[in-house]
Structure 1
């Protein structure tokens, strides 16, 4: 077993009340997070991982920051995780933080007795998990990121089809009223 703190530097985001106006304009949003989550297959593996510390969606907690979002200001609902990529594959870590029952159990143990379910940077460092060899990490991480990206593309395609049908229906409804 290895602790996340042995492989990563973890820093919580800033209190949004203390951000300047220019920083507020560059704030990382939950929409940015959702985009980074589904498209992390395309992200640079050297970029940091963003972790949603108090997630309303349990299987969407970690993603690799996209190049477009890596310079944005992170609020206190997020933490930045910078890993040693020679020892830990970033997509594999995202898989662990998002899907692993072992990690979920460890996280829930850390949160026992907490009033607010928020996994602080200090508690995250203590999360333990089994670390397979790098080849297995890469295989699992690549499969996970690819599946998320394929899901994203399928949803986008379905949304475009729905938008097309709704547009035709609106045109038909408009013609019917004339």
Structure 2
């Protein structure tokens, strides 16, 4: 186990209320995150990891930020992680942050007694990350992002089928 802070530089997002109107148009949204999350496999693995802390959903998750979103302003519900790719595979880290029981337990401990369920950059740096060989990290990370992408494709295909059927039914209803 290593501390995340030993292999990552973590910076919290901005108070976006202080951004100019022009910059407000370039803020990173939850929709941007969802896009990046399910299409993480397509993102450049050299891009930073973005970590979302949704207070409303008590949900925390990580993804690699896409090329189209990497220059957007991030709010305080997000943190950016620049990791040492010699020591940690970004897909593997996303897998751990999103799915690992070890990480979930640490988050729960760190958030006990907090009024606002949000981890600071300092707290994130204190997370203990299980480290395996880079080869194993690559395999697990690739498997994880491939499964997410396949889920996204299947869900999109099913949604399109449903919309097509509903369109036919609505057209028939109008006749």
Aligned length: 174
Runs of 4+, deviation exceeding 3 Å? none
- Could you tell me how far 1:109 is from its partner in structure 2? 1.1
Q: Does 1:41 align with 2:45?
A: no
Q: Does 1:23 align with 2:33?
A: no
Q: Does 1:87 align with 2:87?
A: yes
- Could you tell me how far 1:57 is from its partner in structure 2? 6.3
Q: TM-score, normalised by structure 1?
A: 0.95
Q: TM-score, normalised by structure 2?
A: 0.97
SS at match of 1:74: coil
Structure 2 unaligned regions, length at least 5: none
Contact 1:13–1:76 (CA under 8 A) maintained in structure 2? yes
Contact 1:54–1:119 (CA under 8 A) maintained in structure 2? no
- Could you say which residue in structure 1 is the equivalent of 2:12? 12
CA distance in 2, matches of 1:19, 1:74: 11
- Could you say which residue in structure 1 is the equivalent of 2:113? 113
CA distance in 1, matches of 2:131, 2:68: 30
Q: How does 1:1-178 map to 2 (within 5 A)?
A: 1-54=1-54, 56=57, 58=59, 61-175=61-175
SS at match of 2:54: coil
CA distance in 1, matches of 2:125, 2:89: 17
- Could you tell me how far 1:107 is from its partner in structure 2? 1.3
- Could you tell me how far 1:53 is from its partner in structure 2? 2.3
CA distance in 2, matches of 1:17, 1:167: 41
When the two chains are superposed, the root-mean-square deviation of aligned CA atoms in Å is 1.0
Structure 1 unaligned regions, length at least 5: none
CA distance in 2, matches of 1:36, 1:106: 25
Deviations 1:49-105 (A, max 9, x none): 0001235263x6100001010011101110000101111000000000000000111
